[in-house]
Amino acid sequence: MITIIPAIDLFAGRCVRLSQGDFARETRYPERPEEMAARFLEAGLRRIHVVDLEGAKAGRPMNLPVLERLAAIGGLDMEWGGGLKTESDLETVLEAGAGHVILGTVAVREPDFFRRALDRFGPERIILGADVRGTAVATHGWLQDSGTDITDLISSFLPALSEVIVTQIARDGMLGGADVALYRRLQDRFPGVTFTASGGIGSVADIRALESAGIPRVIVGKALYEHKIRLEELWSPNA
């Protein structure tokens, strides 16, 4: 059964969603992050995906008080990303209550740092976040093309790497369905890696399509906030 991971994107301590990563196309929601997390947990969704958008812009963690409040709820298994560039950042976020940290741009620009993080904190806590256009990896908030193909990036961190979140930028926030073919190709090529699909989920049918393709995890964000998918429609996954 596919694991459903609801998303919380943070800006100024509030829940927001961006379309295709564009801050000019931001939608803010009235629910507080703690309220959303509690609702997700009540629905049986233990693992949640949290992105510190301010941190991503600033290059350092900016929403640690929110992380601490989320951790205080208890029972959540949080993966946290946004602006994490040093080992001190990783320590701070993990100590504040995150179960896993997501590294994207820094993994592309400083691969040795990413390898050290895998070695020090363990592959079960370090997740590669790969944002792609087609199969080309983008960095710096999706603004720059790294010139690296997703398969080459993943290969460069094997065999230590165990978890990868792949976000298809063109589909993010658009609710038009996931790039199932891409995730199937990646899962077939790297059977020892656990892939999480991100971008495009607009219905339960989109989730089922990924499940049928054998993709183990999926992030669901805007569809929940826009009530395209209701929590009661979802099944209780295991993280």
Could you read off the pLDDT tens digit of each residue along the chain, which spans 239 residues?
899 999 999 988 888 776 555 555 567 776 899 999 999 999 999 999 999 988 988 889 999 999 999 999 999 999 999 999 999 999 999 999 999 999 999 999 999 999 999 999 999 999 999 999 999 999 876 566 878 999 999 999 999 999 999 999 999 888 999 999 999 999 999 999 999 999 999 999 999 999 999 999 999 999 999 899 999 888 644 33
Longest dimension (CA), the chain: 43
Q: Which residues contact 5 (CB under 8 A, 6 or more apart)?
A: 45, 47, 48, 49, 79, 196, 217, 218, 219, 220
Kindly state the DSSP code that residue 134 receives in the 8-state scheme.
T
With vertex at residue 118, the alpha carbon angle to CA 115 and CA 121, rounded to the nearest 5 degrees, is 140
Helix (H, G, I), strand (E, B) or coil at 25: strand
The answer to whether 77 is a known catalytic residue is no
The answer to whether 131 is a known catalytic residue is yes
CA distance 165 to 201: 14
Active-site choice (9, 52, 172, 206)? 9
Active-site choice (131, 172, 179, 206)? 131
Domains annotated on the chain, with CATH: 3-233 (3.20.20.70)
